[in-house]
Structure 1
Amino acid sequence: MIARLKGTVLESTPLLVVLEAGGVGYEVHIPVTTAEKVPAIGKECSLFIHSVYREDSATLYGFATRDDRDFYRLLIEKVSGIGPKIGISMLSRMSTDLLRSAIASSDVALLSKCPGIGKKTAERLVIELKDKVGLVATGQTPTAGDLHMPTEPSAFQDAVASLMTLGYKPADADKLVRKAVAKLDSNASTEALLKEALR
């Protein structure tokens, strides 16, 4: 089982990266949120890996942080109806932070905006995962693997919600606030995150 892969970027697209390690080129499927962090071709890149082995194939899914990889595993292993491809689509549309907050707050409408997720699957997501994401979503223990995760996800979620009321799509609002978090202190207030996001 491959848990982590470090190598040189040979190819890079929004949903796929090829890393050369030890003379072998590994094709790794990635969400857009990870693609944003993949360095330029020729640079070294390290990804946390989830491997899926079937009779006729072996597929690698890569993530920028251990937190993203572990959350992805929760999605595809604990919720019926969510397979590897839908899990990647979800993490391409929204960040782990926003998905976790939506699950913790039972925001079925927001979860339903993810590709391949209908109302029933969104409700299953909440039922199956709410107790598993609650501790982190309340801001008690941010995962060490993600340096850009706010220690108060409520401020993150409030900032995203505010942008959505201004007409931004969930994915765009999420991306702008994540960039704001990366620039500011992780304890930044909702107001500070909004100001930075709207610059």
Structure 2
Amino acid sequence: MIGKLKGTVDEIGEDSCVVDVHGVGYVAFCSTRTLGAMHPGEAVVLFIETYVREDMIRLYGFQSQLEREWFRLLLNNVQGVGAKVALAVLSTLTPPELANAIALRDIAMVSRAPGVGKKVAERIVTELKTKAPAFAGEATGTIGLKQELGEGVAPAPIADAVSALVNLGYSRDIAANAIASALKTAGEDADSSKLIRLGLKELAR
């Protein structure tokens, strides 16, 4: 089994690339996001998922191990989701965005991916609900905060800070992301004014 390719980008196609590793060209199917970060002639490292069937062997390449884990999660846990649909989802949403969408049951966001209808999107958010936090990466803290806000159990200073940013015209999602980042700097005991100030600083970056 191939777990990683480290070489030079030889070709970039519509849904795949060829990576030259010491004179051997490996074809790897990738998300449009991964392909968009590549340039012919440049060095590349791809984390590989090897897909073996009776009639073929395919390599799927990812920029990060986290993206590969999400591909496996979609492929192995959601009925009706094959490799093509899984790549379409990862082409449309980053792993943190996908984790947020699942945590918030945002079916509309998931269904933005080409070939993903409402029913498939609903299955994704339902069947991965309990598995998403383990693969959320840096989004985990934000997911927890959004769940607390949605359930009305977030601490008052945090809820007030998010509400203040929403009143300034930011979406609830963007406001929650900013306050989640502010919490890392300010700590859990920070008051709302400090969180608002740091949240605005995050949004100004």
Same fold (TM over 0.5): yes
Return the offset for 1:47: 0.4
Q: Is the 1:15–1:30 Cα contact (8 Å) retained in structure 2?
A: yes
Return the offset for 1:135: 4.9
Give the greater-gyration-radius structure (CA). Answer: 2
The number of residues matched between the two structures is 165
Partner residue of 2:150?
Answer: none
Q: How does 1:46-125 map onto structure 2 within 5 Å?
A: 46-125=45-124
What code does the residue aligned with 2:99 have? R
What code does the residue aligned with 1:195 have? A
Matched, 1:153 2:134: no
Q: Is the 2:99–2:139 Cα contact (8 Å) retained in structure 1?
A: no
| Deviations, residues 14-56 of structure 1 (Å, cap 9, x unaligned) | 6322101132101111112212332x32222110011111222
Give the Cα separation in 1 of the matches to 2:101 and 2:139: 15
Q: Is the 1:14–1:31 Cα contact (8 Å) retained in structure 2?
A: no
Partner residue of 2:29?
Answer: 29
CA RMSD across the alignment? 3.2
Point out the structure with the larger helix share. Answer: 2
Give the Cα separation in 2 of the matches to 1:56 and 1:63: 23
Matched, 1:45 2:54: no
Return the offset for 1:193: 5.1
TM-score by length of 1: 0.70
Return the offset for 1:134: 2.8
Give the Cα separation in 1 of the matches to 2:81 and 2:202: 32
3-state secondary structure, aligned to 2:109: helix
Q: Cα gap change, 1:190/1:36 in structure 2, threshold over 3 Å: closer, same or farther?
A: farther
Give the Cα separation in 2 of the matches to 1:190 and 1:14: 39
Q: Cα gap change, 1:4/1:24 in structure 2, threshold over 3 Å: closer, same or farther?
A: same
What code does the residue aligned with 2:115 have? G
Partner residue of 1:2?
Answer: 2
Give the Cα separation in 2 of the matches to 1:23 and 1:150: 39
Matched, 1:195 2:177: no
Question: Which runs of 5 or more residues in structure 1 are unaligned?
Answer: 143-148, 167-172, 178-183
What code does the residue aligned with 2:142 have? P
| Deviations, residues 90-114 of structure 1 (Å, cap 9, x unaligned) | 1111111101110111111211221
3-state secondary structure, aligned to 1:6: strand
What code does the residue aligned with 2:49 have? H
